[in-house]
Structure 1
Amino acid sequence: MKINIYIDGFNLYYGALRGTHFKWMNPLSMCKMLFPNDSINKIKYFTARVSARPSDPDQPTRQNTYFRALQTVPEIEIIEGSFLTKEVTMPVAHTSPQQYVRVIKTEEKGSDVNLAVHLLNDAFKRDFELGVMITNDSDLLEPLKIVKYELGLPVGIVNPQKHPSFHLKQHATFIKTLRQGVVKASQFATTLNDAHGTFHKPEKW
């Protein structure tokens, strides 16, 4: 079958990559391992650019290097949302009288909406025979249901987290668990080349 893959980048990161040494992951290699008998038509990677923080000033540089690696794969398209960062006042737990602190709150905006729109648009155009979302975000249930029940196309889920969403599980054509062994076996080469020259996997990764 001709498959389009829709990757919820932050759901994937926090579910399967954070705290591991496998962040240098090649999504095409991963998808070929998950669907060895199918044809990967497109991989759409939905994410947002992070900002430097005092505790990790090199985070944007590492992310840019990863984006550069993704762009060496013709099947992959990066679709960017945005981050909203602001200072807010939050209550401290278990204090009496109640105490408050100022914290930096970061919210990722747009990626889930972008993913839903691309899934629906590609389904309307019959750009795939099977759509696969790599996510465990139940906010994406409604576009899944529209594609499956109204447009008549199957939509599967690859779950990067420990426990699948109950709502997604109810309606997805299938659910696969993204296991660490697959992620480990799907790494880019340490050194890559593109039109701008040679670059390397970030040291911390």
Structure 2
Amino acid sequence: MAVYVDGFNLYFGLKDKYRRRYLWLDLQTLAASLLRPGQTLTQVTYFTAHVRDQPESHQRQSDYLDALAVHCPLVTVVDGRFRAKDRRCRGCGDTWVVFEEKETDVNIAVALLEDAVLDRYDMALLLSADSDLCPAVRAAKRLRPDKRIIAAFPPGRHSADLKRAVDGFLSIGRDKVSRAQLPVTLTADSGVVLRRPKYWS
């Protein structure tokens, strides 16, 4: 089983549903908990982008990614990017810059399709509720009809379109995320100590 995690879809699902309580999430343990008896977890690919405009958020995210690298050997991180975009207030004319996350859904689509064609999985678990991924799911199944793709919806999220595109779906509940938390403290090979951010409580 190959698992593809839409980082921002998962993050905002967790945050909207449980605030910051479960953000220190062990993706490998979570993925393994979604498998059925007899299935084997082969890879977990986590798609995200580094926060740019908020130094404290950037540090928390960096610590989290480092913790995944230390504790979750099956997890690979694929980076997208944030693009600066100017915004203007129609009322007063003031302008400001916002950062929009880009490339994540494209990166997931490419990986899901490429891995299907190259026979890197028999079954894929797509941890997302983003309907923009439907074309990639349909293409993968058209090119490799022997492959099965299951959607795992983050807490509080779902997509009727994605339900129709995949072979099956499930919703991730509180029990799964609460039991899949990283240790509060981890130590990297370099000796650096990583701790769950106090803000994530």
TM-score (structure 2 length as normaliser): 0.90
Kindly indicate whether the alpha-carbon contact (under 8 Å) linking 2:46 and 2:78 is maintained by their aligned counterparts in 1. Answer: yes
Given that residues 32 and 40 in structure 1 are in contact (C-alpha distance below 8 angstroms), is that contact kept between their aligned partners in structure 2? Answer: yes
Distance 1:102 1:181 in 2: 44
Provide the C-alpha distance between the structure 2 equivalents of 1:11 and 1:90, rounded to a whole number of angstroms: 28
Where does residue 199 of structure 2 map in the other structure? 204
List alignment gaps of at least 5 residues for structure 1: 92-97
Larger Rg: 1
Q: Which residue is 2:25 aligned to? A: 25
Q: Is the 8 A contact 1:147 1:154 kept in 2?
A: no
Deviation track 1:104-130 (CA, whole Å, cap 9, x = no partner) reads 322111111111111111111111110
Is 1:51 the counterpart of 2:52? The answer is yes
AA partner of residue 126 (structure 1): D
Greater share of helix: 2
Change (3 A) 1:132 1:4: same
1:127 paired with 2:128, answer no
Residue 150 of structure 1: CA displacement?
A: 2.7
Q: Matches of 1:193 and 1:17 in 2, distance apart? A: 26
Segments of 5+ residues of structure 2 without an aligned counterpart are: none
Q: What is the identity, as a one-letter code, of the residue corresponding to 1:119?
A: L
Equivalent residue, structure 2, for 1:170: 164
Q: How does 1:139-178 map to 2 (within 5 A)?
A: 139-152=132-145, 153-178=147-172
66-75 vs 31-40, greater mean Cα deviation: 31-40
Which sits farther off after the overlay, 40-49 or 187-196? 187-196
Report the Cα offset of residue 182 of structure 1: 0.9
Partner of 2:87: 88
Q: Residue 108 in 1 paired to residue 108 in 2?
A: no
Q: Aligned to 2:13, what secondary structure does the other structure show?
A: helix
TM-score (norm 1): 0.88
Query: CA offset at residue 36 of structure 1?
Result: 4.3
Aligned-pair identity in percent equals: 27
Aligned-partner Cα distance in 1 for 2:131–2:123? 19
1:68 maps to what in 2? 66
Count of residue correspondences:
194
Q: Deviations over 1:66-99 (max 9, x none)?
A: 00011121100000010012331143xxxxxx55
Query: Hey, what's the Cα distance between the residues in 2 that align with 1:188 and 1:137?
Result: 26
The aligned amino acid for 2:130 is D
Query: Secondary structure at the residue paired with 2:32?
Result: helix
1:14 aligns with 2:8: no
Q: Closer, same or farther in 2 for the Cα pair 1:79/1:31, shift >3 Å?
A: same
SS across alignment from 2:197 = coil
In the alignment, what sits opposite 1:42? 43
Q: Say yes or no: does 1:194 pair with 2:188.
A: yes
Give the counterpart letter for 1:41 in structure 2. T
- SS in structure 2 at match of 1:183: helix
1:44-78 CA-to-partner distances (Å, cap 9, x unmatched) read: 0000000243xxx3111111100001112110000
Contact 1:48/1:82 (<8 A) preserved: yes
